[in-house]
Amino acid sequence: MSLYRLLTAADRLLSFKSARAHCDIPCGIYDPAPALIASLSVIRMMDLIKELNAATDGSVDTLKLQRCVDLKEIEAEKVKAEVRIIWGDYFKANHIETYPEIHSLVHAIMATASKCKQGAAREDGEALLEKVNQFAEIFWKSKGIEPVSKKYPSPPGMSVIYPSL
C-alpha cells in the first residue's frame, strides 16, 4: 500500500468525533460488582425516600427528595447498562449452553430495574438485587470461580455475591 493511501486511511479513522465502549476490543475485563453496588444504591435511595416522605411535621426537604429520586433512577439505569455489557460482550455460546437461563434472567433484570425507576417500593429494589446476585453467581461460576454471599458493610447492609478468590 502506498504511503498516500495509508495516510488517507488513517485520516479517515481519526476523523471520528467520539467513541464509547466497554470495550469492543474486547479487553476481557468484566465484573458484575458495579451492577451490585448500583442495586444496593437503588435500595438505599428507596429507604431515604421513604424516610423523607415519613416526615410528620410537614418539613419534607423537597430538594433532597428530588436528589434521591434522581440518583435512584441513575443507579437503576447503571444496573441495566452493566448487566447488558456483560451479557452482550462476555457471555458466548458455550456459556449460554451451560447457563440457558441467562437470557430470561437478563430480561428480568431489565424489567425489574425499570420498575425501580418507576416507583420507590423497596421490595422492587430487593427483587433487583436478588436477580443481579443470581447474575453475578452465574458469571463467577462461568469463570470457574466459586461465588460466596457476604453482607455488604454499608447501608442497606444486604448480602451480595463475591468471587471466592
What's the pLDDT at 47?
97
Specify if 123 maps to a domain: yes
For residue 92, being part of any structural domain is answered with yes
Distance CA 155, CA 40 (A): 8
Q: Let me know if residue 12 belongs to a domain.
A: no
Write out the residue range of the structural domain in which residue 73 sits.
Answer: 29-163
Cα 92 from Cα 155, distance rounded (Å): 35
Per-residue pLDDT tens digits for 55-74: 767 777 889 999 999 999 99
Q: How many CB atoms lie within 10 A of CB 165?
A: 7
* Count of structural domains, the chain: 1
* Residue 58 φ/ψ, nearest 5 degrees: 75, 15
State the pairing for strand pair 147-151/159-163: antiparallel
Asked whether residue 4 is domain-assigned, the answer is no
pTM for the structure as a whole = 0.84
Q: What is the pLDDT of residue 28?
A: 78
Asked whether the beta carbons of 30 and 92 are under 8 A apart, the reply is no
Q: Is residue 43 part of a domain?
A: yes
